[in-house]
Structure 1
Amino acid sequence: MRILCWLPLLFLAAGVSAQVAQRPPLGWNSYNCFGSAVHEEEVRANADYMAKNLARYGWQYIVVDFLWAYDNPPGSRIGNPFQYRLGDGSYVPWLAMDSWGRLQPHVNKFPSAFGDKGFKPLADFVHSLGLKFGIHVMRGIPRQAVWAHSPVMGGGGVDAAAIADTNSTCPWMNQMYGLDMRKPGAQAYLNSLLALYAGWGVDLIKVDDISRPYSAAEIEGYRKAIEACGRPMVLSLSPGETPLADSAHVKQWGNMWRMADDFWDSWPEVLKMFGYAKKWAGVGGEGHWPDCDMLQIGKISKRGPVGPERYSRFTEDELMTHISFWCLYRSPLMIGGNLPENRALEERLLGNPEVLAVNQEGMNPRELAHDAGRMIWVSDAGGGALYVGAFNIGDSAREVSVDLYLLGIRRGVAVRDLWAQRELGRFGKTYSRMLPAHGCMLLKIIPYL
């Protein structure tokens, strides 16, 4: 009977889910620059910048990351991500929560939420700019809801304590318990959450602590709740390493999922990401995208969470390799830096339509060569043309060649430099260029007719 009652939702999924993430989502996320301590005026400023400067290139999502229900003290860099239990079993600090056990934006950080308005006023502002609005959530149900025996909306009289799995906890944040999706009322709780988010106008939810370890039942629960609420929403799953063994499941139920743990501005982490990407090659496609994590571009760590406030530690060559590979691989692109502090460099990196077209239009990204100092990836650009990324992954400058035979091309080609947005000429067998350490070239190669 339980299976039969969900059949309408599974059929509905073909309608609602098909409306989102047909191409990799492009947007901004507050985590890398503000940690847990982003405030409403900063979200609005980033949305305003995106609308004025980036939306015309396809950037559209504005995502509020974690601990929006927590009141960070003034001047807080990271904030206290934990709750502590008092003698009576209650929790401090108390997170903003409604009577149904659903977290709410804290009004000290998001003043427009005052009067039980939630994120709707902020989402309305983002939508008024022609953009989309997203939020981060932690998997499960708040521990304080379990302590308070908060009733479950639509749960037939059960409360939070009846559906919580108190053995399922996050190792790095002790605010939540997992949900036992076998319990009556567990799906109803998620349905009530997503109905709340739909009422706010949420277009994307990033669910944390759900991919490692892989929580299949809860992932399905969130997807079913999205379908039940009737509002199209991107379902982003975090963090990695998502198990490759679950690729078929995550492809069916998620829209984007992290391949690795948090990515920061360190060259060795770029090299590791190349390896993760190769493992997941061939899985991504319309509606489901392996995620390389956020772009470490611009001013980051203004209030934590990793290292001092700074512009990205990547060199300019490393930044170009970073975004070129993310685009060629067709990863979702979420900017980590504070947009109003962008310089000419960031504007150039984020506002190149030909580079972004590789991310949005390329097909079947794949690795063709990888040795001690060189890596070449390609994707199909249509009409026999190819997008080609050639990377110098060594620590010194070297000449890097693109062999047309390796690309499967038996005749001459026209070559276009996508970063420079100019034609480089026609070539017969190879195209070569001297690349700096950790540098790259991103090309469109068109065979002669």
Structure 2
Amino acid sequence: MKYLYAVLVCALVSISISSPAQNVALTPPMGWNSYNCFGSAVHEDEVKANADYVAKNLKQVGWQYIVVDFLWSYDNPPGSNIGNPFQQRLPDGSYIPWLTMDKWGRLSPQPNKFPSAFGGKGFGPLAEYVHGLGLKFGIHVMRGIPRQAVWAKSPVKGTNGITADMIADTNSKCPWMNHMYGLNMKKPGAQEYLNSILELYADWGVDFIKVDDLSRPYSEPEVEGYYKAIEHCARPIVLSLSPGATPVGETDHLLRNANMWRMADDFWDNWKEITGMMKYAKQWEGVGVQGHWPDCDMIQIGKLSKRGPVGVERYSRFTEDEEYTHMTFWSIFRSPLMLGGNLPENRPFELSLFNNAEVIAVNQQGENPRQLFEKDGKTIWYSHAQGSKDMYVALFNLGEQPQDIDFTFASIGMIGKIAVRDLWKKQDVGIFKQSYHQQVNKHGAVLLKLVAQ
């Protein structure tokens, strides 16, 4: 009964909300993002190499977005590290390094990093390459308007005489990067500026935008501005908000205006961050519905920090058991799945974590994930398999020793004989009555599918 009530609530929420999710993010978005392995210094050939890998090895199980993360308009020479993202201001008020920007105050890809952008082509050629692989293309953007556009008094496209300095909120600043000012959405021309950048992105062929410095603190007027601009450009584009923690109290607003939003700050390859993410997820339990997904952040598996941003170049510091836990929780909770490592350097084990179609189905087809219990370092989450009476169950051992984890079938609404399948092993375990138990490694996880007989 509790499950049926939850499903009804989710269905009513989905029906009642008018949002861009009518045609995008109907399931949690899946793809690759350049940040965890390249920071601000990714180059076009590296984006293409990762896109090629996804097309060859992962597209068939649902991975599709290729996202260029932050500072693509900032010049990082080949082989450089993440660099200092701060601009310096010269005596005349101008900025160095000067970000690549058009006459309308709209940032464009830096041609030294993205050679196909030469001649004002922007991300169009790279997006076309990604689309040619049968994938979708995305970019990271900082909220607001470039400070250099404000200094230059760049005209706002689609207005009569309004310039960037007239719509900027110069008191609204990102605490960790000085490239942008916020927008005063009450000012004439502010929405038109956002409309103009989304028109540009649509012209390039962008399918996904991750807007940074928007969720902490949460800026309702600017979130709405990006949502309206996406509707204005008339191209289906996923709207992702970053970073967290996004306030839980903004749930209703998020369900009207965004497709995914970060639950926490940047997630990295540290065991305590996995257990912390589970606590954040519990706060958002029951919120994720078609088109709107609380986001656990990117998957920290594979080759990380090749050129920043955190720590030395390395393969993930997670143990194999911890990587199973990482992938299992992101899947059962139905978080968006964005790979953060440099995919061409994956080893067979990493690939096996990403191309298991049965595990991906838990993320893409599970319904109403929720926690069954958490006690003594043991926790269980479960969800319903879409279109059937089958259930997905994830067993997690958060403790420091192997532990036996058990649960009754009645506790998840199942009765009679139950066939149990281990999805990571791709093996049928057997048929059981009343309950199931299994020993789980330290920091490990087991992901099961239960089918009533």
Provide the rounded CA distance (Å) in 1 between the counterparts of 2:28 and 2:21: 14
Q: Note the 1:354-365 alignment, pairs <5 A.
A: 354-365=358-369
Tell which deviates more after alignment, 325-334 or 426-435. 426-435
Provide the rounded CA distance (Å) in 2 between the counterparts of 1:297 and 1:45: 17
Residue 407 of structure 2 is aligned to residue 402 of structure 1: yes
Q: Note the 1:224-243 alignment, pairs <5 A.
A: 224-243=228-247
1:13-50 deviation digits (Å, cap 9, x = unpaired)? 95854110000000000000000000000000000111
Using the TM superposition, give the Cα deviation of residue 409 of structure 1 relative to its aligned residue in structure 2, in angstroms.
Answer: 2.4
Q: Which among 144, 147, 156 is matched to residue 148 of structure 2?
A: 144
Residue 47 of structure 2 is aligned to residue 43 of structure 1: yes
RMSD of Structure 2 on Structure 1 (CA): 1.1
Instruction: Report the 3-state secondary structure (helix = DSSP H, G, I; strand = E; otherwise coil) of the residue aligned with 1:360.
Output: helix
Provide the rounded CA distance (Å) in 2 between the counterparts of 1:288 and 1:60: 18
Residue 171 of structure 2 is aligned to residue 167 of structure 1: yes
**Aligned counterpart, 2:75:** 71
Tell which deviates more after alignment, 72-81 or 150-159. 72-81
Provide the rounded CA distance (Å) in 1 between the counterparts of 2:415 and 2:122: 60
- Cα contact 2:143–2:180 (8 A) shared by 1: yes
Q: Which among 163, 172, 187 is matched to residue 183 of structure 1?
A: 187
Instruction: Report the 3-state secondary structure (helix = DSSP H, G, I; strand = E; otherwise coil) of the residue aligned with 1:405.
Output: helix
Using the TM superposition, give the Cα deviation of residue 383 of structure 1 relative to its aligned residue in structure 2, in angstroms.
Answer: 2.3
1:148-180 deviation digits (Å, cap 9, x = unpaired)? 000000122110000000000000000000000
- Cα contact 1:45–1:340 (8 A) shared by 2: yes
Aligned pairs, number? 436
Residue 440 of structure 2 is aligned to residue 422 of structure 1: no
**TM-score between the two structures when normalised by the length of structure 1:** 0.96
Provide the rounded CA distance (Å) in 2 between the counterparts of 1:421 and 1:370: 26
**Aligned counterpart, 1:88:** 92
**Aligned counterpart, 2:382:** 378
Residue 331 of structure 2 is aligned to residue 327 of structure 1: yes
Instruction: Report the 3-state secondary structure (helix = DSSP H, G, I; strand = E; otherwise coil) of the residue aligned with 1:348.
Output: helix
Tell which deviates more after alignment, 32-41 or 431-440. 431-440
**Aligned counterpart, 2:308:** 304
**Aligned counterpart, 1:250:** 254
**Aligned counterpart, 1:9:** none
Provide the rounded CA distance (Å) in 2 between the counterparts of 1:48 and 1:413: 41
Tell which deviates more after alignment, 422-431 or 186-195. 422-431
Residue 111 of structure 2 is aligned to residue 126 of structure 1: no
Structure 2, gaps ≥5 residues long:
1-16
**Aligned counterpart, 1:218:** 222
1:104-131 deviation digits (Å, cap 9, x = unpaired)? 0000000000000000000000000000
Residue 436 of structure 2 is aligned to residue 431 of structure 1: yes
Provide the rounded CA distance (Å) in 2 between the counterparts of 1:155 and 1:223: 20
Instruction: Report the 3-state secondary structure (helix = DSSP H, G, I; strand = E; otherwise coil) of the residue aligned with 2:411.
Output: coil
**Aligned counterpart, 1:260:** 264
CA spacing shift, 1:423–1:270, aligned 2, 3 Å: same
- Cα contact 2:72–2:109 (8 A) shared by 1: yes
Using the TM superposition, give the Cα deviation of residue 399 of structure 1 relative to its aligned residue in structure 2, in angstroms.
Answer: 1.1
- Cα contact 1:17–1:227 (8 A) shared by 2: no
Which amino acid in the other structure matches residue 398 of structure 1?
Q
Provide the rounded CA distance (Å) in 2 between the counterparts of 1:378 and 1:252: 27
- Cα contact 1:127–1:133 (8 A) shared by 2: yes
**Aligned counterpart, 2:370:** 366
Instruction: Report the 3-state secondary structure (helix = DSSP H, G, I; strand = E; otherwise coil) of the residue aligned with 1:419.
Output: coil
Tell which deviates more after alignment, 106-115 or 381-390. 381-390
Provide the rounded CA distance (Å) in 1 between the counterparts of 2:281 and 2:377: 18
Provide the rounded CA distance (Å) in 2 between the counterparts of 1:15 and 1:394: 41
Provide the rounded CA distance (Å) in 2 between the counterparts of 1:18 and 1:240: 25
- Cα contact 1:394–1:438 (8 A) shared by 2: yes
Residue 208 of structure 2 is aligned to residue 204 of structure 1: yes
**Aligned counterpart, 1:19:** 23
Which amino acid in the other structure matches residue 101 of structure 1?
G
Tell which deviates more after alignment, 171-180 or 87-96. 87-96
**Aligned counterpart, 2:8:** none
Structure 1, gaps ≥5 residues long:
1-12
**TM-score between the two structures when normalised by the length of structure 2:** 0.95
Provide the rounded CA distance (Å) in 1 between the counterparts of 2:338 and 2:115: 25
**Aligned counterpart, 1:194:** 198
Instruction: Report the 3-state secondary structure (helix = DSSP H, G, I; strand = E; otherwise coil) of the residue aligned with 1:88.
Output: coil
Provide the rounded CA distance (Å) in 2 between the counterparts of 1:229 and 1:425: 53
1:47-96 deviation digits (Å, cap 9, x = unpaired)? 01110110001100000000000001343211121111111111111000
Provide the rounded CA distance (Å) in 2 between the counterparts of 1:344 and 1:15: 40
Using the TM superposition, give the Cα deviation of residue 422 of structure 1 relative to its aligned residue in structure 2, in angstroms.
Answer: 1.5
Using the TM superposition, give the Cα deviation of residue 435 of structure 1 relative to its aligned residue in structure 2, in angstroms.
Answer: 1.1
Residue 321 of structure 2 is aligned to residue 317 of structure 1: yes
1:369-392 deviation digits (Å, cap 9, x = unpaired)? 101210000000142211000100
Provide the rounded CA distance (Å) in 2 between the counterparts of 1:17 and 1:272: 28
